[in-house]
Structure 1
Amino acid sequence: MTDATFDGASRRAFLALAAATPALINAAPAAAKSGAWKDAVIVNALGGLDNPNLKDEGGESNVSRGVRKPRVLDARALADARRSGVTAINCTLGYVAGGGDPYEVTIASIAQYDRMVRSYPADVTKVLTAGDILKAKRDRKVGLIYGFQNAAMVADKLERVDVFADLGVRVIQLTYNPANHIGDGSMAPENRGLTAFGRQVVERLNDNRIMVDLSHSGEQTCLEAARVSRQPISINHTGCRALVDLPRNKTDAELKLVAEKGGFVGVYFMPFLNKDGKVRAADIVAHIEHALNVCGEDHVGIGTDGTITQIDDMDAYRADLAKEVADRKARGIGATGEGPETYPFAIDMRGPTQFYDLADRLKARGHSTGRIEKILGGNFVRYAKDVWGA
């Protein structure tokens, strides 16, 4: 991508990145510099290609928990993505919570991402099949997987699932934290399963070969979806409740059934991995290892639920985070374990070296190169082949 393709803000970010590049390179772990994992396909099963240091027109951060605010492709975010080695990212599009008509918000969001893909054809590509992920690796592009974190935009119209499939949506999460007309989210106290309409939605998602994601669902909704789905389902970003008993983490029963049905489980880098809310790299490794023990090595990956570009000004970020957590609580969409000091990333494993750092840590724990490459992205590609096709 040439400098002529940047808008003004992106050009300034790129120049700032260029000035900082020597220090950033020197800070990279040995694996990143030696290229030990350069051939690995890395898939972030839930993340973003955003610069969280940017502000929108209202002064809010470009990224908030659970909601990505797409804009023109930022130069620093793209450079960090390239350094990270990431091959593809499941990006959250459309309505998650808040105001506006969910369907209209979602259609506008898809159109905005499509414009971004058309504007930067040398840098990003839209992923429709598992083969597109592998092609993105060969072409040195970042693959964008269109995904939803709520199915509210379906409303009571099953045919909308067909529309979303035709527009290139490849992942639909059934619920966010509260209950909706499809099933109960992780924070719904009743912990009911799918509604009658929810079972129809799962069937329609299967018909369209869209991934059924149960990341924010309640336990019964997840178990029932895994049982009724004709295709394997996924939990693209979660932790293990056996290690930390919080609603956003999944029970061993959920993890095991998803794996037995041929599905995929992505471990996030979120505060729910540690009982004090301050996640560290060791916590991420521990949850991955527990998931491996429950699911087997063919069903576990990563879904960080975060960006690659790291926060620069942590003092300012803490103030923004406190406001965001309070707002989420007021709107009834927060989760137990969120707080003003619970960062949605590992403080000791963030930025563009995070995937290489994780691979090194797993290697040091005795995991084989083959297993680590499955966790980094191979397992997601296998699962994508089963659902989307090659």
Structure 2
Amino acid sequence: MQEQSSNYRGYRSFDYLEPHADFTVFDLAPELGRVPEHDLGLDTDQSARVTRLLADNHVISLHEHPKILTSDPHQLREYNHTGRNAMGYEGLAKSGMSAFFDNFMNGTNCVTSEHGWKWNDVVYDLGLRFADVAKQDHVVLARTFAEIERAKANGQIALVAGLEAATMIENELDRLDILYGLGVRQMGIAYSMANQLGSGLSEPQDGGLTTFGHRAVERMNKLGIAIDISHSSDQTSLDVIAASSVPVFITHAGARSVWPTNRMKSDEVILACAERGGVIGLEAAPHTTLSKRHPRHSIESVMDHFAYCVDLVGIDHVAFGPDTNFGDHVGLHNSFSGHLAISQAHGHVDYPKVPYVAGMENPAENFTNIVGWLVKNDYADDAIRKAIGSNILRVLKEVW
């Protein structure tokens, strides 16, 4: 595991408040050491190369939820209902990342409702996270390309605020401007279920991008909000790619040709995204990016999708969006399976269940192991540099 950043001073979420008096205290999962470290079997020279690549380059996760979950997954709903999710600052300090796209609670946001994606809940979620981040100086909110580069130069970690769907804007186009003003710089179209903009990936009928959706895409382009189509249906995804004046992201998914579920993207969508200059970030949340070679989910399964996408569209259009957090991610899925439409996304494909994804279990270990795997499998430095950060930066330069 990477050494802790020397710039991290030990801040823990809500240190500026009084526990119990100012906020509800929960028993939280450990940020580090919850599962055994993954051994890739690297030799001394390979390990040194991993350390160098992480230190010298932008290392960016295109999709994370770096909050700390409750030790007991059954308390997650009550935990989220408070609106306060603790962030894993210590784990992030060991991650090797220079930036990450934080997607907050999203579909599990149930501050005022049993279901996510309410406008007030999203604003509550954003504001409380930003307040916590503002009270320390290791993780910094990045709203411009220059701020990402400045964070790297200063030994800090840039947080790019993202949302997995635009459901909360309802039919109010100006809400996109409000979210941009609050700091949001990346947004999905739909999350599994259809909304005013288009169809999600779990809908039985694929209606594509709506008229309002076209207007929303145009507004996001004008604002400089990067668009994500990870959870959108095939036709909606293709419509968004065609409608957008700039490249779009698939921030966290895999290839349906490798694992045949709706949660994965078709070759047609991946190719269309790449042809317009976009990037696909490879997903690692439990039981998503499986493969026939590695049906028991692990880093090897994820990298089967990576290798396939590199062969399909080239190294310039592939990155990583692991979509992980600190704690029992499988327990999180079990607790919110209805909200997240997980069963509809996976369909009826059978696969062995795992308690965690070996090698890509949390944000602290993901990129050390990703770079380690790439080094072990003889990828050149330039290819690794592109996959772990520079491809994402290229798109952001154009979008922002």
User: Normalization by structure 1: what TM-score?
Assistant: 0.82
- Taking a change above 3 Å as real, the CA distance of residues 379 and 345 of structure 1, as seen in their structure-2 partners, is farther
- AA of the residue aligned to 2:379: H
| Alignment map for 1:1-390 (pairs within 5 Å) | 2=9, 7=15, 35-37=51-53, 38-54=55-71, 59-60=75-76, 70-73=84-87, 77-93=88-104, 95-96=106-107, 98-99=114-115, 102-120=118-136, 122-270=137-285, 271-274=287-290, 278-307=296-325, 309=326, 311=328, 321-325=333-337, 327-328=338-339, 335-336=345-346, 342=353, 346-351=357-362, 352-388=364-400
Equivalent pair of 1:328/1:334 in contact (CA under 8 Å): no
Aligned equivalents of 2:185, 2:247: Cα separation in 1: 14
Q: Secondary structure at the match of 1:232?
A: coil
- Taking a change above 3 Å as real, the CA distance of residues 103 and 288 of structure 1, as seen in their structure-2 partners, is same
Equivalent pair of 2:115/2:339 in contact (CA under 8 Å): no
Q: Secondary structure at the match of 1:86?
A: coil
- AA of the residue aligned to 2:58: V
Aligned equivalents of 1:357, 1:62: Cα separation in 2: 33
- Taking a change above 3 Å as real, the CA distance of residues 345 and 295 of structure 1, as seen in their structure-2 partners, is farther
1:363, CA displacement in angstroms?
Answer: 2.2
- AA of the residue aligned to 1:299: H
Equivalent pair of 1:123/1:142 in contact (CA under 8 Å): yes
Aligned equivalents of 2:264, 2:215: Cα separation in 1: 26
Aligned equivalents of 2:345, 2:96: Cα separation in 1: 31
- Taking a change above 3 Å as real, the CA distance of residues 304 and 5 of structure 1, as seen in their structure-2 partners, is closer
Aligned equivalents of 1:170, 1:343: Cα separation in 2: 33
- Taking a change above 3 Å as real, the CA distance of residues 157 and 141 of structure 1, as seen in their structure-2 partners, is same
1:356, CA displacement in angstroms?
Answer: 1.7
Aligned equivalents of 2:397, 2:356: Cα separation in 1: 29
Q: Secondary structure at the match of 2:346?
A: coil
- Taking a change above 3 Å as real, the CA distance of residues 134 and 100 of structure 1, as seen in their structure-2 partners, is closer
Q: Secondary structure at the match of 2:202?
A: coil
| 2:4 aligned partner | none
Aligned equivalents of 2:154, 2:78: Cα separation in 1: 28
Aligned equivalents of 1:41, 1:69: Cα separation in 2: 31
| 1:314 aligned partner | none
Aligned equivalents of 2:390, 2:190: Cα separation in 1: 26
Equivalent pair of 1:46/1:92 in contact (CA under 8 Å): yes
- Taking a change above 3 Å as real, the CA distance of residues 27 and 212 of structure 1, as seen in their structure-2 partners, is closer
1:99, CA displacement in angstroms?
Answer: 3.3
Q: Which runs of 5+ in 2 are unaligned?
A: 1-7, 109-113
Equivalent pair of 2:83/2:124 in contact (CA under 8 Å): no
1:288, CA displacement in angstroms?
Answer: 0.7
1:24, CA displacement in angstroms?
Answer: 7.1
Equivalent pair of 2:283/2:302 in contact (CA under 8 Å): yes
Q: Which runs of 5+ in 1 are unaligned?
A: 312-316
Equivalent pair of 1:133/1:381 in contact (CA under 8 Å): no
- Alignment length, in residue pairs? 370
Equivalent pair of 1:68/1:92 in contact (CA under 8 Å): no
Post-superposition Cα deviations, 1:238-290, rounded to whole Å, max 9, x if no partner, equal 00011111001011111111111111110111322225863122111111111
Aligned equivalents of 1:298, 1:63: Cα separation in 2: 40
1:368, CA displacement in angstroms?
Answer: 0.7
Equivalent pair of 2:176/2:219 in contact (CA under 8 Å): yes
1:33, CA displacement in angstroms?
Answer: 6.5
- Taking a change above 3 Å as real, the CA distance of residues 125 and 318 of structure 1, as seen in their structure-2 partners, is closer
1:354, CA displacement in angstroms?
Answer: 2.5
- AA of the residue aligned to 1:223: L
User: Normalization by structure 2: what TM-score?
Assistant: 0.80
Equivalent pair of 2:281/2:318 in contact (CA under 8 Å): yes
- AA of the residue aligned to 2:195: N
- Taking a change above 3 Å as real, the CA distance of residues 235 and 343 of structure 1, as seen in their structure-2 partners, is farther
Aligned equivalents of 2:345, 2:387: Cα separation in 1: 26
Post-superposition Cα deviations, 1:164-208, rounded to whole Å, max 9, x if no partner, equal 111111011000011111111111111221011111110111110
Equivalent pair of 2:161/2:185 in contact (CA under 8 Å): yes
